[in-house]
Amino acid sequence: MKKHKLLKKIVALLVVMTITCNLFTAHAHTGEYHAGGYYDDKQANLKFLIMDSALTSILTMDVYNSATSWNGISDNVYVVSVVKHVYGMPTSGFNCVYGQAYTDGTLGTTTFYGVNGNAVSANATWNSVMITMNSDAFVFALAPNATNAAKKTFTHEVGHALKLKHPENGSFSGHTQLGYPYAVMNQGLYGTESYLSMVPSIHDKSNLIDKWN
Amino acid sequence: MKKLLSITLAVLISICVTSCNKNENKKDDIKENKPQTNVISSEVDAIGYQNLNELIEVCDLVVVGEHTTDGVLQNEFLDANKSPYLFDVSESSFEISRVIKGDVKVGDTINITQQYYIQNVEGVDTIYDSSEMTPMKKGEKWVYFLSYDEINDTYWIRNIYGKYPVPESNNSTADGFTAEEMGRYKKNNMVDSLYNELVEMYDWE
């Protein structure tokens, strides 16, 4: 009788192990952020310098100050300052933001740079980022609210600077809208799709905490 | 009882092994798709399109054809005075074999621009990419969705939604292609869905 009970326990344990193993496989997409750190540090204290080319009638300092919406989520992430560049001001120590007139539907890009100033892969340890924003007013004007769309794009790019990736598309837990979670890190023009958030959502915050603690 | 236990154990172990193999297979797929050159990618946020008509509407040109040159490094400019300097991209000549939308004709050659450039770094070709698409190569045939840039006299690919392989037959679907064959570095369900629509909408015979 005792032997029978022991066998039952072993079978139950194996069933639990099998289910756990399968669950782990199904949720492997949760790595929605890149590896690598900032200066080999476990913290990211970011300062942004907004260059002249990045300032337009839509891309204002108010838009760029939306970067601070990443504050207060992780103790190890802090957007220290967002400063407008003035002539003669040194750029070292800053993450520079430039404007570029893209005609292909690009809203913004983020490129990572190493200590030696060369562009590096998003998975590498980085020293600074360069963000470009589409300075063609027409592109943000396609959104119901151009300023909010520009704020979403800059917050999205700062999310990349904090190593967050675009969420995966598929039938994953929490991906309830056309296979996407509600998130600022989704690609697209704010106001045109229901899954686009203007500020960091619960999904974004969860990934940021996972990455930076 | 022992027999039952043995069978249960065998079934559970095989499920565990199959489940773990899924990850191994994925790793092998990634290895096979890894390009020979080094790729350093920027992160890109771009406007998305839910269906093909939405995409066609915003484009100046939708064409099928073949690259007659490899992509070559170009400097693009922000205004007609060629100042300020904008950024490094690649440009390639493209001969049109079919026009779906736009004021061009079969046999015309246009310049196509994509946001990447290649540099040799310590003997290794390094692709600096801001397009999430594979480089333009001579002899390759693609369907392109393009926007005209008057200042630089070139057509820009409408980001990741703007480049598709020419289907071999009506049965071709995005599921049958790897990300690289689709002209991109990463799989994207939304782009695949547009490609499937493209295959269905047009007669490729």
Residue with tokens 């020979």: B36
Please give the average per-residue pLDDT across A28-33, as a whole number.
63
Count helices and strands (H / E) in chain B: 3, 11
Using CB atoms and an 8 Å cut-off, which of residues 118-137 of chain A contact chain B?
Answer: 119-122, 132
CA-nearest of A101, A119, A144 to A110 is: A119
Q: Which residues of A touch B16 (CB under 8 A)?
A: 17-18, 21
Show the DSSP H helices in chain A as ranges. 2-26, 61-64, 137-141, 146-161, 202-212
CB pairs under 8 A between A and B: 115
CA distance B90 to B129: 10
- The answer to whether the pTM exceeds 0.90 is no
In this predicted structure, what is the pLDDT of residue A127? Answer: 85
Please give the average per-residue pLDDT across A20-40, as a whole number.
57
A142 Cβ contact partners less than 8 Å away, ≥ 6 residues apart:
A149, A189, A192, B47
* pLDDT tens digits along B113-167: 998 999 888 888 899 998 999 999 999 999 999 999 888 889 999 989 999 998 7
- Whether residue B171 has pLDDT greater than 70: no
CA B115 to chain centre: 12
- Whether residue B20 has pLDDT greater than 70: no
* pLDDT tens digits along B43-64: 999 998 989 999 999 999 999 9
* pLDDT tens digits along A54-76: 999 999 999 999 999 999 999 88
Q: Give the confidence band of B1 by pLDDT, cuts at 50, 70, 90.
A: low
Min Cα distance B48 → chain A (Å) is 5
* pLDDT tens digits along A159-213: 999 999 999 877 777 788 878 899 999 999 998 889 999 999 999 999 999 988 8
Q: Which residues of B touch A191 (CB under 8 A)?
A: none
In this predicted structure, what is the pLDDT of residue A88? Answer: 82
